[in-house]
Amino acid sequence: MKLYQYDHCPFCVRADMVAGFRQVPHEKVYLLNDDEQAHFDLIGAKMVPILQFDDGRAMGESLDIVAALDAIETPAPHLDPWAEASPQLAALDSEGRAVNCLLFPRNVRIGLPEFATEGAIAYFTERKEAMIGISFGQAMEETAQHKAAAEAMLAAMPELAPPADGRLRMGDVLVYPHLRNLTMVRDLAMPGWMRGYLETVTALCGTHLYDDRAI
């Protein structure tokens, strides 16, 4: 089984979390961001994550992949269906542009495998600069302003208790990828509960944070 993904993609992290937590044997494949053909060959669309079974069948859509990975019998427990994470997701949404201005330019500057070539960086940069309406250079220059907005939003976010019984919940699959990506912003202030939450879920899923390369 192969899990095609980008390291920075929150939808890919959903699948990666569940594959890790449920101990599903798989190979991680990081596609180049501009390798349209590889994506189309697998699912007929330029989209990750993609799960490919050993018989060659491939599927997209992170939540379908999560369900497929959860359906496989392994020694690990199944996902806890608890999914009451809408207050946290709404908070993240409310500062979506500030978060994008922080993350998009950093995505291509921290040595991720999907951006291993100049072509992949240029492909992503062109599309995401159009989305935020400013250049990555300007977004980096405006870091203080976007950080302040993101920090205020995080400070007011309702606390999410970490999974207490060693069982990953659907709510974690939805929220963790977004909070985890914010660790690529150096010295971004997070409430204490959030750091604890990130560390617990990271350990549970065998994923990684970005503190060691934050900029």
List interacting residues with ligand GSH (CB under 6 A). 6, 9, 11, 46-49, 60-63
CB of 49 to ligand GSH, least distance (A): 6
Q: E strands along the chain, which residues? A: 2-5, 27-30, 50-52, 58-59
Tokens of 60: 């997209």
Give the integer Cα–Cα distance in Å for 64 and 57. Answer: 14
Q: Which is nearer to ligand GSH, 114 or 151 (CB)?
A: 114
Nearest distance in Å: CB 47, ligand GSH = 4
The residue type of 100 is N
Of residues 62 and 183, the one with the C-beta less far from ligand GSH: 62
**Closer CB to ligand GSH, 63 or 215, in the complex:** 63
Q: How far is the CB of 12 from ligand GSH (least distance, A)?
A: 7
Would you state the structure tokens that stand for residue 25, as one six-digit string? Answer: 């044997």
CA distance 11 to 5: 9
Give 79 or 162: the residue with its C-beta nearer to ligand GSH: 79
In this structure, how many other beta carbons lie within 10 angstroms of the beta carbon of residue 136?
20
The minimum distance between CB 161 and ligand GSH, in angstroms, equals 25
Closer residue to ligand GSH, CB minimum distance, 47 or 140: 47
Q: Closest approach of Cβ 15 to ligand GSH, in Å?
A: 8
Q: CB-wise, 131 or 215, nearer to ligand GSH?
A: 131
Q: From CA 102, how far away is CA 196, in angstroms rounded?
A: 22
Give the shortest CB-59-to-ligand GSH separation in angstroms. 10
Phi-psi region of 207 (alpha: psi -120 to 50; beta: other; left: phi over 0): beta
